[in-house]
Chain A
């Protein structure tokens, strides 16, 4: 057989439209994420116009990352889980539990170098429990993580019923230190969140583990028949999500200067909303952490706009709800189309 490929093949895509199609065929999965970027831009520009130039400022945009860093970390963990086709409802409670646990430890004199790893490990442990329930006891992710939600919330109340102030300089530094560039600034929490995003993107796209996550979301049955390690990967995504919950607990403690057992009620839903708005399919297999970053920014922008307008925060929920509906319908359309093609 000849090595040149130009004319010998029966199944060659030749025309220009075919070339375009092949480009679209490659890039199609990005469509929902690109839509999220467009929505973010519309929101920013719209708010800028509406508020007569007071919105898109370095200060506001910097604050956007600062205020939502913990949510971004939660959303990254959630992205792993949703990519496999699962869901993790426990993260809001895990964040509260690890936050109050850390605050309690530090206030009772445990060094930060011990308290922080305990927080992270605590989050990961709840995730491990959920993962094992899902994978080895065949419990629906919804139910398993609901159990995790109640468990972590209960544990938070066991640690303390009321808020515990954190006065450790190292923890507060995460929040208060501002690395400035002109009017722009970033806090260590913001850097942590961005590093988590970058790390997650690396793992998901350039490691075998990450690709197995996508394969499971595409078809768990196929992934198993292809000889991939489905079981361990599925447990691992819940551990990652739990770990992110612990990290978010640390960041929220730094942000608010205290641990509080009622923190983060409903935050798991915000994280899920951000992931979905960022273009990750709830059925799994499609989506990007970069999308979740955008989703969190959309979420944060809506919140900021509403507080700028002085409107009721309930509008926040209405708008997020409407956006979610829109995205789920769009995603349904994408899925239906790709099934139609088969």
Chain B
């Protein structure tokens, strides 16, 4: 593995920033997405923008590229104060963005994608020979020797990304924003992309790099700016910020004002029997390296890792929402083929998605209807559930989870996020699962609801329910889980017993385990 980037020549520091964003504030209805954030980008540096989901990274980028308008603050490009009203505007000022999903036209040739809108023309007629030659020149400048006349879609994403960068270079961009460019690349492809990025840095281009992959950030970046909850945490030179310090700054330490939960984590779990679920070497190319996982009755297994570490991917594979291409799964000791959520439900596995709006709650139905939905799906659509039975069930869960308002007929869309989450939880619990998978069940909900949900999970597991619990909040994972599987960069890096580790230990494990010395 290449060593971390060589330190910058001191002179570079003296260069004035090409992008100066000061006091940037962006408001959405009811949300302060960015709160007075400062951000500086200098020529010839790779600057990583780090933060968990919702920290404001993409909002900052969109504010810079003219997609969002800012409510306060100034953006100065090369000494001149600017307000962009569109990406085309920003592009004209030399700021280009390469997105995670390549924003090119797959149906056109590589050369045309590079030159589109800048074709070589003679009297209004496109000269294809000259246009492709020009494209080839730009590709070669990035050490890419491919046929500019070949179709873009014939090339892997990594090449397409370099093509997108070539396009940015045709526009003579001085600032290049790489937004999660590596999320669907394998190691070789990342190396190729980074080689290009280093060349551009040497040529004096200012590069803003966003990635969830901590190792890659340390590999390529000169400087790191950390955001959390829409506010600036700080700007650091990469050599001054060890990995665990970065993780701590990204996650933050929230004051524990949740009511004290008995640390169910310390409950002894009998692991001598047959696990509810055992996965061996389960994985999928490009999603997750093969991983093992066992969950015993009455046990809460936490999955810890940053966003994009593969924790959601792992449970999606277990649940059959995505099809694994390696490994096998047994349920109660018997081989099980789980290739669709239907199979998982048949095996009494329930999965509550992290995106409760898109993949969980039916916002236009009532609380009662949402709760009954799961059990109805399990019984089959033809078997009617008696009204009295429904009412009893719904009332029981509304009481047990303290759903507010305690009205079965309330439309779910009007409930707060926390109460929606409770309804979703009730829906899955009503199906009497033996394994409950909860992906970020407490994200974005208020503290009271959070505590309710945590208490319920802990209660249910004490009664024998097996739970897989995912949360970005490590404290929460530590509090609820007896065993924690830690993931990083789409790989399970190990398991820890939560009674033997504290928060700092877990952060350290998350950041450094298996990496030798931190930078």
Contacts and interface: CB of A to CB of B under 8 A. Distances in A.
A126 to B, nearest CB: 28
Contacts of A227: 87-88, 91-92, 117
Given A9-B145, A11-B146, A26 B109 contact: yes
Interface in A1-57: 5, 9-13, 21-22, 25-26, 28-29
A279 interface: no
Contact of B153 (A11, A22, A217, A342): A342
A215 B88 contact: no
B144 interface: yes
Contact of B121 (A208, A226, A342): A208
A211 B103 contact: no
Contacts of A225: 87, 97, 103
Contact of A341 (B107, B126, B143, B153): B153
B116 A25 contact: no
A214 B151 contact: no
Contacts of B119: 208, 211
Interface in A177-217: 205-208, 211-212, 214-215, 217
A218 B117 contact: no
B149 A222 contact: no
A65 B298 CA distance: 78
A215 B167 contact: no
B1 interface: no
Nearest to B127: A206
B108 interface: yes
Contacts of B159: 11
Interface string B154-174: 101101100000010000000
A80 to B, nearest CB: 15
Nearest to B149: A26
Interface string B99-138: 0000111111100100011010100111010000000000
B151 A208 contact: no
Interface string A285-310: 11000000000000000000000000
Interface in A102-151: none
B145 A12 contact: yes
Contacts of A223: 105
Given A9-B143, A228-B117, A25 B107 contact: no
Contacts of A285: 105-108
A219 interface: yes
A338 interface: yes
B201 interface: no
B147 A25 contact: yes
Contacts of A222: 103-105
B140 interface: yes
A11 B146 CA distance: 7
A338 to B, nearest CB: 4
A166 to B, nearest CB: 38
Contact of A26 (B97, B143, B147): B147
A11 B150 CA distance: 14
B140 A208 contact: no
Contacts of A29: 107, 151
Contacts of A163: none
B157 A342 contact: yes
Interface string A225-257: 111100000000000000000000000000000
B145 A11 contact: yes
A221 B121 CA distance: 25
A342 B124 CA distance: 34
Contacts of B156: 341-342
B103 A206 contact: no
B144 A214 contact: no
Nearest to A18: B147
Contact of A219 (B92, B103, B117, B128): B103
Interface residues of A, number: 36
B151 A25 contact: yes
B107 A13 contact: no
A3 to B, nearest CB: 10
A239 B121 CA distance: 25
Interface in A284-340: 285-286, 338
Contacts of A11: 143-146, 159, 192
B106 A338 contact: yes
A273 B156 CA distance: 33
Nearest to B88: A227
Nearest to A14: B145
A35 B112 CA distance: 25
Contact of A28 (B144, B151, B192): B151
B124 A25 contact: no
Contact of A25 (B105, B117, B121, B154): B154
Nearest to B140: A5
A334 to B, nearest CB: 10
A211 B112 contact: yes
Nearest to B67: A225
A22 B147 contact: yes
Given A10-B143, A11-B192, A342-B157, A214 B91 contact: no
Given A9-B145, A208-B126, A211-B116, A22 B150 contact: yes
A205 B151 CA distance: 15
A211 B117 CA distance: 9
Contacts of B121: 208
A226 B167 contact: yes
A206 B153 contact: no
B144 A219 contact: no
Contacts of B105: 214-215, 218-219, 222-223, 285
A210 to B, nearest CB: 8
Contacts of A21: 154
Nearest to B154: A25
A341 B144 CA distance: 19
A34 to B, nearest CB: 16
Contacts of B145: 5, 9-13
A223 B103 CA distance: 8
B116 A217 contact: no
Contacts of B167: 226
Contact of B103 (A212, A214, A221, A342): A221
Contacts of A25: 147, 150-151, 154
Contacts of A228: 116-117
Given A225-B87, A341-B153, A208 B117 contact: yes
Given A29-B151, A227-B117, A342-B153, A218 B126 contact: no
Contacts of B160: 342
Given A206-B126, A214-B105, A342-B106, 19 more contacts: A5-B140, A9-B145, A10-B192, A11-B145, A11-B192, A21-B154, A28-B154, A29-B151, A206-B125, A206-B128, A207-B126, A211-B112, A219-B106, A226-B117, A227-B88, A227-B92, A285-B107, A286-B107, A341-B153
26 contacts: A10-B143, A13-B147, A25-B147, A25-B150, A25-B151, A26-B109, A28-B151, A207-B125, A208-B117, A211-B116, A211-B126, A214-B105, A218-B106, A219-B105, A224-B87, A226-B104, A226-B116, A226-B117, A227-B92, A228-B116, A285-B105, A285-B107, A338-B106, A341-B153, A342-B106, A342-B153
Interface of B: 87-88, 91-92, 97, 103-109, 112, 116-117, 119, 121, 124-126, 128, 140, 143-147, 149-151, 153-154, 156-157, 159-160, 167, 192
Which 8 residue pairs across A and B have the least CB separation, nearest first?
A218-B105, A285-B107, A227-B88, A218-B107, A9-B145, A25-B150, A25-B154, A222-B103
